[in-house]
Amino acid sequence: MSLLSIRDLVTEFESPSGTARAVDGVSFDVAPGEIFGIVGESGCGKSATCRSILRLFGGAPARIAGGRILLDGAGDLAAMRERELAQVRGRDVAFIFQDPLTALNPTMRIGRQIGEVIRRHRDVTRAEARDAALQLLRDVHVTSPERRLDAYPHELSGGLRQRVVIAMALALRPRLIIADEPTTALDVTVQDQILRLLKERCDSLGTSIILITHDLGVVSQICDRMAVMYAGRVVETGAVREVLDAPSHPYTRALLAALPGQVGRDSELVPIGGAPPSLIDPPPGCRFAPRCVFAQPQCRIGAPPALRARAGAGEGHLDACILNEVCHAAA
């Protein structure tokens, strides 16, 4: 059973030079309690995919142009009216942004901010909300939580602020947390603590996480399953151990060779030559073909290939390469 099923999602951004299909037919499932990682180069549509779930486009000229976002028990979020979706935000699904300052109101004390999240959805008094906020700060291991309740965001370090953001995300015990590079803005030493904390809290509450990250080491350590995106599409998905240990799409393999992470740590990093295609007018066929060392003429025609299981692949391990058997043999 899935908590979230995204099916054929299409999300477009309007720009002066045309309509960019930032998300072009993305499908994946997240199970209850699961941590699902999304990786891929900058601009491939990771944030656009996740922002589509709660329609949090931050004022950008974006719209969902197709597909379904099925949340167990709530229906299709893509088809919901804004008012209904506002109820889902925070209560069922919470979002953690990269920069904690964007999530916090600079003019409101921490305790009040956490309390307001609770009061927006629950009928509790200010004092009850404050007590709940205090407990949430303890849960995320904020030191001197009583004192922090009365602090303003700028009085806290980046790591503490992100703990507060996590406390706010957990305030209503959502079933899903979407974390878009939640630690990129933090010191390296703090990043690991924050991710561990997020995982620990979600494990204990049974909350699922969609985690967007550039760090394959992080995916390897904390995610259960993952998707690799390229130019608006998922090119490979499966259990983390399958995808990282036996990557089958040439893009995944190139990514593993190019990024510092568990794979390739001891070997020389090989950057991927070339650049991703435009999402306004992408080339036909496989979008990675222009950069792929295995590409054949048939890779550059028709619709982009769909995800499918390769012979011998583990359950749920899919990739979108029409040559997958051939190029695998050649590698």
Ligand X SMILES: Nc1ncnc2c1ncn2[C@@H]1O[C@H](COP(=O)(O)OP(=O)(O)OP(=O)(O)O)[C@@H](O)[C@H]1O
Number of neighbours of residue 88 by Cβ within 10 angstroms:
20
Q: Is 44 in the site for ligand X (CB under 6 A)?
A: yes
CB of 57 or CB of 152, closer to Mg ion:
57
Grouping H, G, I as helix, E, B as strand and the rest as coil, residue 29 is strand
Q: Is 267 in the site for ligand X (CB under 6 A)?
A: no
Tokens 């922090």 found at? 148
CB of 47 or CB of 252, closer to Mg ion:
47
CB of 113 or CB of 183, closer to ligand X:
183
Tokens standing for residue 51: 């922002």
User: Using CB under 6 A, which of the segments 40-48, 146-154, 202-210, 265-273 binds ligand X?
Assistant: 40-48
Binding footprint of Mg ion on the chain (CB under 5 A): 47
- Residue 51 falls in which region: left (phi positive, over 0), alpha (psi -120 to 50) or beta: alpha
**Shortest-Cβ-distance residue relative to Mg ion:** 47
Sequence-distant (6+) residues with CB within 8 A of 92 are: 71, 74, 174, 175, 176
Which residues ranging from 145 to 184 are in contact with ligand X (CB under 6 A)? Answer: none
CB of 38 or CB of 134, closer to Mg ion:
38
Alpha helices in 171-298 (DSSP H): 188-205, 216-222, 240-245, 250-258
Residue 83 beta carbon to Mg ion: minimum distance, rounded to whole angstroms: 27
Tell me the site size for ligand X, rule CB under 6 A. Answer: 14
Which residues ranging from 69 to 88 are in contact with ligand X (CB under 6 A)? Answer: none
Element (H, E) at 211: strand 208-212
Which residues ranging from 276 to 295 are in contact with ligand X (CB under 6 A)? Answer: 279
Q: Is 46 in the site for ligand X (CB under 6 A)?
A: yes
Tokens standing for residue 313: 């692949």
Q: Is 60 in the site for ligand X (CB under 6 A)?
A: yes
Residue 330 beta carbon to ligand X: minimum distance, rounded to whole angstroms: 29
Q: Is 233 in the site for ligand X (CB under 6 A)?
A: no
Are 237 and 251 in contact by the 8 Å Cβ rule? The answer is no
When CB distances are held under 5 to 8 angstroms depending on the partner's kind, the choice from Mg ion, ligand X, none that residue 13 binds is: ligand X
CB of 28 or CB of 74, closer to ligand X:
28
CB of 16 or CB of 106, closer to ligand X:
16
17 by Cβ neighbours in 10 Å (0-12 / 13-18 / 19+) ranks as exposed
2: nearest Cα among 37, 47, 25, 33:
33
Q: Which residues are near ligand X by CB under 6 A?
A: 13, 15, 20, 22, 40, 42-48, 60, 279
